[in-house]
Amino acid sequence: MTYRKKEVRDFLISILVLGFLFSLPKITAVSLVASFIIVSLTFGLHEIAHRNVARKFGAYSEYKMWPSGLLFALILGIISGGRIIFAAPGAVYISSLKILRWKGEYESIKNEEYGVISIVGPLTNLFLALIFLILNAFYSWWFFSMGASINMIVALFNLLPIPPLDGAKVMAWDRKVWFFVFMASLIGWIGISFI
């Protein structure tokens, strides 16, 4: 699992921007550090899951930031005081061709493989939200509830069926899978707002 310097740079810039946005509206040193830690886990593991599953299918994948998406996220986040966060500062770009091992030949990635690659990011966030909720049940702490909330927001946002978000690719693959995971994210997000 090798990372190019540009990919690491893009990843870190995206995490810094999202970490800043999730610490709004009242930025303190503690909220900023907490936000950076949670976003590193939330966003980092989401994108790494996409990348690794794509590579398991034999496809080349690489994280690239989306400069206009970052700028839009910053403007919208600052104007809304952190109430609306556009959580798409970049994405894992996947080659539409995969190399067949030991044959030196190429074949296209199947729709199902794109669907699995796309669903694994939001599923990672749902899993992380569950871990944060369990930790919060044993020891009630704002950091754990913040972690659960951010993960639910990222999962729900990414499952919107709007290209280029994950939800559009999952829906193109299997509408039932998309509906089930989207509803789980929506119910989880509503539930967390009562914590």
Q: How confident is the model at residue 60 (pLDDT cuts 50, 70, 90)?
A: confident
Amino acid 3 reads Y
DSSP of 96-112, one letter per residue? EEEEETTTTEEEEPPHH
51 three-state secondary structure: helix
Instruction: Note the pLDDT of residue 104.
Output: 59
Query: Model pTM?
Result: 0.89
Q: How does pLDDT run across 18-37, given as a tens digit for each residue?
A: 999 999 888 899 999 999 99
- Crossing angle of helices 175-192 and 142-158, in 10° steps, is 150
Q: How does pLDDT run across 141-186, given as a tens digit for each residue?
A: 999 999 999 999 999 999 999 988 999 999 999 999 999 999 999 9
62 as an active site residue: the answer is: no
Name the token pair of 89. 């500062």
Which of 7, 47, 62, 113 is catalytic? The answer is 47
Contact 92, 44 (CB under 8 A): no
Question: Alpha-carbon distance 122 to 60, whole Å?
Answer: 20
